[in-house]
Structure 1
Amino acid sequence: MDAAEFRPEDLERITAQAEEMLLRVEESRKEIDAVVGRGTGADGQVQVAAGGTGRLTELVIAPRAMRLDSGRLAEELLRAVQAAQDEVEQRVREIMAGTLGEAMPSQDALDDRFSQVLESFESSMDEQFQAIDELRRGTT
């Protein structure tokens, strides 16, 4: 877009779109903060909860689970932790898909998509600022 094609409403539209996306991202962040994934092991004697980042927030080991040998208890703990983290990951993907309007196959895909959106936004803003500068200087 050159300076002759620039209209103030273009900048207003881009700004409104950016603000809307930021609001959606903030709402998604709040949803993700509230996510809790749960996992169990040793027939329910080991219970784990993980928050939206996958970090463990709760670990309960029933006295009966302490009768297991250390290797088996470790396996059951890992199974419970992985189940809780898998549940969190799935829920976060669903939230982000709702925000971005598409299914998220992986964290790498999310990172790539975010980079693309950011590059596109920066490029668009650069063009708009360049057009504004040209208008200020009176060049076309």
Structure 2
Amino acid sequence: MFGRMDPADLRDHDIDEAADRGERMLAWLESAREELDKVIGTGEGPSGQVKATVDANGLVLDVVYGPRALRLSSHELADETLAAVGAAAADAERQTHDLMREALPGYDPAAAQAELERLLSFE
């Protein structure tokens, strides 16, 4: 997304382009807060007996157990619950990325994550 740059190679055009991208991102974040607040991910465990919902931040909002869920062992029930919550979180993340792609053409969540990790590693 950004790559490594030598400051000596920066041109005014590059700086202006980066500033424009930053301004678009900030404007989108301000206007999209309402949309992001509406993101609700849903998921279920492999047996279909556990369903979960989470918000865009990964906060678990609800877990519902089907009538046959109590036939599962405690370990199976725990695994089903974790799978349902994980699937719901993945769904919420996908929805968030879809919103970002709409607002920022060319947005690549994997590249953005890699760049964030690189920046946080203080290389």
Q: TM-score, normalised by structure 2?
A: 0.65
Q: Is the CA contact (8 Å cut-off) linking 1:48 and 1:81 kept in structure 2?
A: yes
Q: TM-score, normalised by structure 1?
A: 0.58
By how many angstroms is 1:104 displaced? 2.2
Pairing partner for 1:68 from 64, 67, 72: 72
Quick one: which amino acid aligns to residue 70 of structure 1? S
Q: Is the CA contact (8 Å cut-off) linking 2:43 and 2:84 kept in structure 1?
A: yes
Question: Cα gap change, 1:109/1:28 in structure 2, threshold over 3 Å: closer, same or farther?
Answer: farther
Q: Is the CA contact (8 Å cut-off) linking 2:45 and 2:84 kept in structure 1?
A: yes
Which whole-Å CA distance do the structure 1 matches of 2:97 and 2:32 have between them? Answer: 11
Which whole-Å CA distance do the structure 1 matches of 2:52 and 2:33 have between them? Answer: 22
Which whole-Å CA distance do the structure 1 matches of 2:97 and 2:42 have between them? Answer: 16
Q: Is the CA contact (8 Å cut-off) linking 2:46 and 2:83 kept in structure 1?
A: no
Same amino acid, percent of matched pairs: 35
Which whole-Å CA distance do the structure 2 matches of 1:32 and 1:61 have between them? Answer: 27
Match of 1:108 in 2: 113
Unaligned runs of 5+ in 2: 1-18
Aligned length: 98
Please say if 1:25 is aligned against 2:8.
Answer: no
By how many angstroms is 1:97 displaced? 1.9
Q: CA RMSD in A?
A: 2.7
Match of 2:42 in 1: 38
By how many angstroms is 1:61 displaced? 1.3
Which whole-Å CA distance do the structure 1 matches of 2:99 and 2:78 have between them? Answer: 32
Question: Cα gap change, 1:109/1:27 in structure 2, threshold over 3 Å: closer, same or farther?
Answer: farther
Pairing partner for 2:99 from 89, 95, 101: 95
